[in-house]
């Protein structure tokens, strides 16, 4: 049997630290076991997600190849539409300028007619 009689203070200090170390080792083991279980559950969740994502890979590959074929065509179409929009804006601005010029010419013509009319009225006044 183990003799647990304490004869010196050093034996008491040794036993205290020994039991503290044993308690600490037990705590570490329990912490490891609980953390290990959490990590194992997380790993199984990640494996399930990975398997699910792997099923989507062929569908996404098909989508990527489809987009590789259609995007250059769409870019060309988009470029043509942009050029067309620029032409329309230019035409619109030209039309607005022409209308503005017509309005100015018409206004000058009216002012000249009014001026001629005023001159004639002045002539009649004499």
Tens-place pLDDT, residues 44-94: 999 999 988 888 888 888 888 888 888 888 888 889 999 999 999 999 999
**C-alpha distance from residue 47 to each of 44, 50, 61, 88 (Å):** 5, 5, 21, 56
Whether residue 34 contacts residue 43, with contact meaning beta carbons closer than 8 Å, is answered with no
Is residue 120 predicted with pLDDT exceeding 80? no
The answer, as to whether pTM is greater than 0.75, is no
**Residues 94, 99, 102, 108, CA torsion sign:** negative
pLDDT of residue 94: 94
């Amino acid at each position: 049997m183990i003799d647990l009689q304490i004869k010196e203070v050093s034996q008491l200090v040794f036993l205290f630290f020994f039991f503290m170390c044993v308690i600490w080792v037990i705590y570490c083991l329990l912490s490891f076991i609980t953390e290990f279980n959490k990590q194992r559950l997380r790993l199984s969740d990640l494996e399930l997600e990975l398997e699910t994502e792997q099923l989507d890979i062929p569908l996404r590959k098909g989508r990527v190849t489809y987009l590789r074929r259609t995007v250059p065509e769409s870019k060309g179409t988009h470029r043509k539409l942009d050029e067309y929009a620029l032409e329309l804006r230019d035409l619109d601005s030209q039309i607005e300028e022409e209308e503005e010029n017509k309005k100015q010419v018409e206004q000058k013509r009216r002012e000249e007619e009014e001026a001629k009319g005023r001159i004639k009225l002045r002539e009649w006044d004499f």
